[in-house]
Amino acid sequence: MTGLWFLAAAYTAIWFAVVLYLLGLGRRARTLEKEVAALRSRAGGRD
């Protein structure tokens, strides 16, 4: 039964790391979108 406890702990740790990674990725994507919008407005809105 001890092995199952370690398996559950490892599984929880992996999911926690995945969630943190996705949250960080989303934050970076929002920052990048803001930078692109600022650059487009500086360029006169040309597409």
pTM score above 0.95: no
Cα distance between residue 17 and residue 12, in whole Å:
9
Query: Among all chains, which residue has been given the structure tokens 């920052």?
Result: 31
Q: What pLDDT, on a 0 to 100 scale, did the predictor assign at position 45?
A: 64
Locate 31 and state its tokens.
């920052």
Name the residue among 11, 5, 32 with its Cα closest to residue 19.
Answer: 11
Token pair listed for 26: 């989303």
Residue 3 has a pLDDT of 79
Q: What is the pLDDT along the chain (47 residues), one digit of tens a residue?
A: 677 999 999 999 999 999 999 999 999 999 999 999 999 999 986 65
Tokens of residue 39, six digits: 């650059």
Distance CA 22, CA 27 (A): 9
